[in-house]
Amino acid sequence: MSFLYPFFLFALLALAIPVIIHFFNFKRYKTVYFSNVQLLKLIRQDSKKKSQLKQLLILITRLLTIAALVFAFSRPYIPLTNQITHAAQQLVVIYVDNSFSMKAEGENGPLLEQAKQNAIEIANSYRVGTQFIILTSDFLPQHQFPLSKEQFIQQVAEIKESAHSPQLSDVYSRAVQLGSGTFKKLEKNVFILSDFQKNASDFEAIKPDSSVFTYLLPLKSSKTNNLLIDSCWFEVPGRKIGQSEKLFVHISNKSGQAYQNIPVTLSINDSLKAISNISIAGEEKTTLELNYTNNSKGIQLCKVELDDYPVIFDNSYFLSYRVLSKLNTLGIYNPQNNGSDYLKKLFADDDLITYTEYPENNVQISQIKNNQCIFLINNQKFSSGFMSELTSFVDEGGTLVIFPDRLTDYKEYNLLLNKINSNTIALFDTATMGISEINYGHKLYQEVFKKHEDEADLPVIKGYTVFKDRMQNGGSEVLIFRNGKSALTASSFGHGTVYLFAFPLSKKNFGFIRHILFVPTVYNMVLQSGEQQKYAYSLENDVPVFLNKSSQLSELKIINQQTKDEFIASVRTIGSGKQQLILDDLLQNAGHYLVQDGDQIIQSISCNFSRKESDAEFYEDKELQKFMQTGDFKQFKLIVTSDVAISETLQDYSNGKQFWKHFIALAIIFLMCEMAIIRFWK
């Protein structure tokens, strides 16, 4: 046992007072003479013994009363933690988890409301002068300054639900860092009020600070059923007008309850395009196919939705894309080694792709910008104006595909390749070399092969170029020869893509042209040219948003399509020449956002809430306690408030288990015993 005010123990010297009184305040007896004192001697002796016993008991009760009062004023306690608060001022950081999972119902209402009430109760349990910092899942800038108790309670009352769900390690790290400057010398306590969802509670990543004491206060919800849309994707890349689309919708059931005939709808530009019903068993996943036709060009704003309650934030999935009427493709060929006929036959009568071609000595440079993809087929010479136009074409988002001819000097080729930051050519090797490896993870082949063969029968190339450098600028090898050298490389420049083959497109390489690999490789190069569209973003992930087309402005207007709210986002150019939107935390809600450049809408951004909050798996008290008993979590303490008020629990943790009330009670009991002895002992 320890004492909060041990100097009061000197008051035990007061125990000498009743002892002195006991010895120097004896009652004096009067002598009475009797003729026969034989019997009276026995009575006298007996009465004297009883009187001495009575006085001794009174002395003991008085000593015990004084001792109990002294101990009470010394504030005895038994430490429950290795930190006892003695500081005159403290800094208290309280994290209130306001993620979507905190909307669940608990025994006393929504968990978020319980957390807010608990935060206020914690604040009220501290003495006047304590500084408070509120912290939420948003990491808002206004939530990083110390507040008085009244200011803190006001901000807690204003907390609303948030789409953000940070990792517990990030929350702890930020809580420890807050107030580390001006208030560094103050004793700091951290409170974490959360439901401790498993996918966000990364205890293994936490690095505890021994100078900060942390309290975990878990909030429990009842079991909630949840049906949600995980993701959506198209069967094939590239959207065109008049094309029959197959949109796949992945749906998960996060409960044991089975669902029957739940309607799933697809709306495009606020018009109903498709509807279907699903039936799904408990804890199952299914994929639904929605079919429709693109009847208009331009930006298409899509929303897939189902009906489910009470968890509703994951019932909708937003995606958007731009439909082009045609993809214009241009072939520029060498008349002396013309391989363009193979491309002409491939794209003949194609509803999506329009293919035109020019010989290299009769190129209409002004028409280059009107295409989405350009093929350079076995060319030998490039004018400076032609190279500049090709560089601008790629930088603006076009796709350039190069089949190099068999040459002794690649000086002009390398001038162009240097301009677009691609690999340069060292020489032409006349050896025959087979292709041995396909990069199945590259976007050209992601939806092409159902099975990845390691020993596939791939074409043999008769003569190939050897590149000076390995891949650079974020490029990748798409096809690889048996000797490990690149047969096809892909690299980015600005907003566009450059594909560089290591061999000519000619009759000598007819093995490649007639191989099954030729059609998906070349066709997907065109299909994925032009605007590189990303259909959907997650509000949780920090995925950069790049402009599909370059803008001359340093700031662009962002419009919320649902609410019509407008924001201004800055634009920066990164190393590869691409332009990135700096959105920071401007996008807070799921839905469609339009990017406006001047008076023109140039792009759409579709955002969805993270599905991480949909997984209702939480740590139990026993599991949390187990974490506290391992590693370096000695400064962590779990608070369970089912039976005892938070304020009382905090008092025990801060000052130890207090016993002053018990000693006050003992003092009263001893005093009453003394009074009883004096009154009733005759």
In percent, how much of the chain has pLDDT > 70? 89
Highest mean predicted confidence (pLDDT) among 34-43, 198-207, 570-579:
198-207
pLDDT of 76 reads 79
* 148 within 8 A of 132, measured Cβ to Cβ: yes
pLDDT digits (tens, 9 = 90+) for 418-462: 999 888 999 999 999 999 999 988 888 877 877 777 777 899 999
pLDDT of 113 reads 93
10 Å Cβ neighbour count for 576? 16
CATH class of 90-223+621-655: alpha beta
* 313 within 8 A of 259, measured Cβ to Cβ: no
577: left (phi > 0), else alpha (psi -120 to 50), else beta?
A: left
Question: pLDDT: is 475 or 99 the higher one?
Answer: 99
**46 falls in which pLDDT band (50, 70, 90)?**
low
Q: What whole-number distance in Å separates Cα of residue 675 and Cα of residue 681? A: 10
Mean pLDDT value across residues 601-613: 91
Main-chain dihedrals φ then ψ at residue 49, nearest 5 degrees = -70, -40
pLDDT of 54 reads 80
Query: What tokens appear for 433 in the block?
Result: 């070399």
Segments in 570-637 forming alpha helices (H): 621-628
pLDDT at 615 over 90: no
User: For the CA atoms of the chain, what is the radius of gyration?
Assistant: 41
pLDDT of 326 reads 80
10 Å Cβ neighbour count for 100? 23
DSSP 211: T
**636 falls in which pLDDT band (50, 70, 90)?**
confident
* 241 within 8 A of 253, measured Cβ to Cβ: no
pLDDT of 352 reads 80
Domain 90-223+621-655 matches domain 227-324 at the CATH topology level: no
Main-chain dihedrals φ then ψ at residue 259, nearest 5 degrees = -115, 140
In percent, how much of the chain has pLDDT > 90? 41
pLDDT at 343 over 90: yes
Q: What share of the chain is helix, strand, coil (3-state, %, to 5)?
A: 30, 30, 40
What secondary structure does DSSP assign to 649-672, as a single string?
HHHHHHH-EE-HHHHHHHHHHHHH
**592 falls in which pLDDT band (50, 70, 90)?**
very high
Query: What tokens appear for 253 in the block?
Result: 């059931």
pLDDT of 33 reads 66
pLDDT digits (tens, 9 = 90+) for 23-45: 776 555 566 666 666 655 555 55
Question: pLDDT: is 191 or 43 the higher one?
Answer: 191
pLDDT of 266 reads 96
pLDDT of 414 reads 92
pLDDT of 560 reads 94
Q: Lowest-confidence range among 13-22, 63-72, 409-418?
A: 13-22
pLDDT of 470 reads 58
pLDDT of 547 reads 86
pLDDT at 82 over 80: no
pLDDT of 642 reads 60
DSSP 348: T
- Pick from 272, 245, 275: nearest CA to 262: 275
Query: What tokens appear for 485 in the block?
Result: 């050298």
Q: Lowest-confidence range among 70-84, 125-139, 248-262?
A: 70-84
75: left (phi > 0), else alpha (psi -120 to 50), else beta?
A: left
Q: What whole-number distance in Å separates Cα of residue 495 and Cα of residue 618? A: 43
Specify the CATH superfamily of domain 227-324: Immunoglobulins (2.60.40.10)
pLDDT at 487 over 70: yes
pLDDT of 141 reads 83
Which residues have a Cβ under 8 Å from the Cβ of 335 and sit 6 or more positions away? 359, 360, 361
Question: pLDDT: is 152 or 223 the higher one?
Answer: 152
- Pick from 628, 653, 649, 639: nearest CA to 84: 653
In what order do the strands lie in the sheet containing 90-96?
Answer: 131-136, 90-96, 187-194, 213-218, 636-638
Specify the CATH superfamily of domain 329-527: Class I glutamine amidotransferase (GATase) domain (3.40.50.880)
pLDDT at 538 over 70: yes
CATH number of 537-608: 2.60.40
pLDDT digits (tens, 9 = 90+) for 210-219: 888 899 999 9
Question: pLDDT: is 75 or 577 the higher one?
Answer: 75
pLDDT digits (tens, 9 = 90+) for 270-321: 999 999 999 999 999 999 999 999 888 889 999 999 998 888 899 999 999 9
10 Å Cβ neighbour count for 571? 18
Q: What whole-number distance in Å separates Cα of residue 52 and Cα of residue 426? A: 119
pLDDT of 280 reads 94
Question: pTM for this structure?
Answer: 0.66
pLDDT of 540 reads 80
pLDDT digits (tens, 9 = 90+) for 372-411: 899 999 998 888 899 999 998 988 788 999 999 999 899 9
Query: What tokens appear for 489 in the block?
Result: 């490389």
pLDDT at 83 over 90: no
**8 falls in which pLDDT band (50, 70, 90)?**
confident
pLDDT at 501 over 60: yes
- Pick from 401, 335, 328: nearest CA to 370: 328
Mean pLDDT value across residues 169-174: 93
pLDDT of 480 reads 94
Domain layout of the chain by residue ranges:
2-79+660-680, 90-223+621-655, 227-324, 329-527, 537-608
